Each structure stands twice: as C-alpha cells, then as structure tokens.
C-alpha cells in the first residue's frame, strides 16, 4: 500500500517552504527556498528519498497546519526561538537511521557534533551517518546541519555548505568563513550525546507513567 502524502508550498518571510503531511503527522519538508517551483521540486525529492518510490504525492485544499509548520521552519532557519507546532514527526522505519536522527534532534541550539562522534553514540560508521543526514526528510526540525566533519569543518549539506554555515552562525556558533571551521568549544562528544539520549528516554518513561 502506498503512503499518501499531502504536499504543499507555503510562502514565509525567507522564501517558500515545502511541507508533506499524512493523517498521522509530518513526514517531509524543505528549508526556505527562493521560489515555489524550487520548493515543490525539492519537497518531492525529500519525500521520495526518505520514503521510497511507493509514495503517492498529491496537492490538496488549504490546510492551516501546513502554514503553521512552514512558519515554524522559517523561524528555525532564521535562528529564532520558536515553539514547535503540535504535530507528530514521522520517520522512515529504518532502525539505525531513526536512532541517528532522534539523537540529532536532541542537539541543542548553539551546539554541534561530528559524523564520527555521532557514529560512536549510535553504534555505526561515520559514512553511514553521512548517508542518514543526507536522507533526513525533516531538515531544520531535525537539525542535521548541526553535524559536521571530524576536522570541525562545516562539511556537506543538501542545500550547500554556505547555507549550512549561515544557519549555524545564526544559531550562535562562530564559523571561520576562510577555513570553514567551527568553534571547538561548542562540540558535543559521543558521551554527551549518549547522556542526552538517556535523559530524553527517562523523561519519556516518566511522562508515560504520569499518563497512566
């Protein structure tokens, strides 16, 4: 059975944001891009790259939630403090990729990690981490731009290293534009990432007990 994704492009202050949702939640999006056509094309690529060819993409009538999501993404892009919308974020059913992306989601604004440190925390290789980040269907909401090269240079990004550097700088991380290197003191190592995951899981257990 095909995954049915409703796609839309919303105009925001920084350009146009593509958003893909299902009845269960958000499954793919773009960062703000310069025009509607580029955002729509990139959204299609993000959805299919993450979820495979067996997706059915269609445009439907106006949904106020997509506008809320798009404006939230715009605020993240600009480095602003923003309250996340009340919608589930859904990820492809690939265990290691989900573990890596969930860990990245815990990296706070103003901090970053490297492919190798994240690989240690997740239990995989830096090459695999690079592949997972490239296939991240929820950029900015899952901040894959906060994962950089082991030599602390910005490294690759689906939207280009310059865009990645500017997003990081707007989040308060100094980046040397000549060398492309980030401020070393903001680096999160594998042990710190593991601790973030442990705390997050403990909070989830506590919340589940409270709901009982």
Q: How far apart are CA 193 and CA 181, in angstroms?
A: 21
Q: How far apart are CA 100 and CA 109, in angstroms?
A: 17
Residue 29's SS3 state is strand
- The candidate with the shortest Cα–Cα distance to 126, out of 150, 110, 97, 101, is 150
Return the DSSP state at 23: S
Please list the active-site residues: 144
59 with 18: CB under 8 angstroms?
no
Longest CA–CA span in the chain (Å) reads 55
Encode 197-210: b = buried (16+ Cβ within 10 Å), e = exposed.
beeeeeeeeeeeee
| Chain centre to alpha carbon of residue 110 | 15
- For β-strands 55-58 and 15-21, DSSP reports them as unpaired
What number of other Cβ atoms are within 10 A of residue 30's Cβ? 29
């Amino acid at each position: 059975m095909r995954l049915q994704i409703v796609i839309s492009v919303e105009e925001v202050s920084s350009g146009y944001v593509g958003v893909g949702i299902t009845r269960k939640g958000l499954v793919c999006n773009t960062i703000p891009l310069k025009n509607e056509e580029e955002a729509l094309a990139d959204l299609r690529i993000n959805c299919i790259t993450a979820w495979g060819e067996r997706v059915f993409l269609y445009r439907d009538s106006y949904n106020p939630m997509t506008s809320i999501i798009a404006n939230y993404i715009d605020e993240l892009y600009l480095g602003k403090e923003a309250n996340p919308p009340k919608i589930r974020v859904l990820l492809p059913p690939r265990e290691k990729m989900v573990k890596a992306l969930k860990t990245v989601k815990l990296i706070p604004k103003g901090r970053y990690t490297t492919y190798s440190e994240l690989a240690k925390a997740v239990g995989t290789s830096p090459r695999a981490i690079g592949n997972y980040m490239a296939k991240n269907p929820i950029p900015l909401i899952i901040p894959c731009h906060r994962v950089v090269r082991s030599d602390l240079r910005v490294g690759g990004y689906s939207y280009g290293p310059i865009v990645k550097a500017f997003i990081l700088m707007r989040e308060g991380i100094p980046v040397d534009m000549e060398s492309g290197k980030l401020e070393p003191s903001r680096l999160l190592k594998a042990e710190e990432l593991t601790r973030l995951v442990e705390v997050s899981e403990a909070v989830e257990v506590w919340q589940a007990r409270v709901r009982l």
